[in-house]
């Protein structure tokens, strides 16, 4: 039966066209944005995961920057300690030379005094971003960011690596620090005094004028003890620097992995979407033609009323 009030064929064709147009719009959106899941309504679960991981990745970027700052502090301290070791080795060499009776102890002491002042200059100059790890108060500590962690319960945390300062003769700083923050040359590896003969000396205050050969021998042991402690500190700083480098590399790799994982969840397959777009465009044209045919079929009713 043909009806001029209800055109079932046109309604069916229109419904088909609407479905095709909706699919075409979604496909065009994916092609233009590059996302298969661009908003929560596309896929709530995947969108939620992707949003959370993007947030964590942003935090990891900040951690990477903080690791770079920590690495710079540690490298500055290591460089200072390494140079100080070379200066103390020169003091040791001067003491060896002073054991020879024909060598003027006064001349040797003048050279040692210059090296001692160089040690103080190194300690005072080893500062990065307002922190100096070469002289500090006993028991003070510094820390560097090491990682960003998301726990199973959804909470997040930033982990740090702590470095405690010890101003003893076998500690890990060249000198101590006074309450006002100025250098204290009477403590630390190079400032801690030991008795040699009738007087007390540190590596920094060492004065060989008037010393006997036996006293110079004790002074050499004092310097060697300082070298041992400084070498141990350099090893600690080197290990910490290596750990930071490893963590920096891991964070960089982790960020790339997260980006890749998020992409697998929400990125559009451009080859597939391109093929689908062409097919939907063809289907849309055919649906339009079908609707046109359905709409014109009602016109055939007029021929029934022609004389």
Q: Which residue has the higher pLDDT, 138 or 273?
A: 138
The residue extents of the domains of the chain are 71-266
| Residue pLDDT, tens place only, 158-217 | 888 889 999 999 999 999 999 988 999 999 999 999 999 899 999 999 999 989 989 999
Residue 298 pLDDT class (50, 70, 90 cuts): low
CA distances from 284 to 9, 272, 273, 287 (A): 16, 18, 16, 5
Say yes or no: domain 71-266 is CATH 1.20.1330.10. yes
**Beta strands at 127-128 and 141-150: parallel, antiparallel or unpaired:** unpaired
Cβ proximity of 241 and 7 under 8 Å: no
Q: For residue 273, give every residue at least 6 positions away whose Cβ sits within 8 Å of its Cβ, in sequence order, or none.
A: 27, 30, 31
| Residue pLDDT, tens place only, 57-111 | 888 888 888 899 999 999 999 999 999 999 999 999 999 999 988 889 999 999 9
- pTM > 0.85: no
């Amino acid at each position: 039966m043909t009806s001029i009030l209800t055109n079932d064929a046109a309604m069916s064709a229109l419904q088909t066209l609407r479905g095709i147009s909706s699919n075409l719009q979604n496909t065009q959106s994916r092609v233009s944005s590059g996302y298969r899941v661009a908003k929560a309504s596309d896929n709530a679960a995947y969108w939620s995961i992707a949003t959370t991981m993007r947030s964590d990745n942003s935090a990891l970027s900040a951690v990477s920057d903080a690791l770079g700052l920590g690495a710079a502090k540690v490298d500055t301290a290591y460089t200072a300690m390494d140079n100080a070791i070379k200066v103390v080795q020169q003091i040791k060499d001067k003491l060896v030379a002073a054991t020879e009776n024909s060598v003027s102890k006064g001349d040797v002491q003048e050279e040692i005094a210059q090296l001692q002042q160089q040690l103080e200059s190194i300690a005072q100059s080893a500062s990065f971003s307002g922190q100096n790890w070469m002289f500090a108060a006993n028991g003070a500590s510094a820390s560097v960011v090491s990682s960003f962690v998301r726990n199973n319960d959804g909470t997040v945390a930033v982990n740090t690596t702590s470095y405690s300062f010890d101003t003893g003769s076998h500690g890990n700083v060249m000198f101590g620090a006074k309450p006002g923050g100025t250098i204290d040359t009477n403590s630390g590896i190079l400032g801690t005094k030991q008795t040699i003969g009738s007087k007390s000396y540190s590596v920094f205050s060492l004065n060989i004028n008037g010393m006997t050969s036996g006293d110079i021998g004790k002074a050499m042991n004092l310097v060697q003890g300082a070298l041992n402690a400084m070498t141990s500190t350099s090893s600690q700083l080197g290990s910490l620097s290596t750990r930071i480098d490893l963590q920096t590399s891991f964070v960089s790799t982790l960020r790339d992995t997260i980006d890749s994982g998020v992409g697998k969840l929400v990125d559009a397959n451009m080859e597939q979407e391109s093929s689908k777009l062409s097919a939907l465009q063809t289907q849309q044209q055919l649906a339009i033609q079908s609707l046109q045919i359905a709409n014109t079929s009602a016109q055939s009713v007029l021929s029934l009323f022609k004389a």
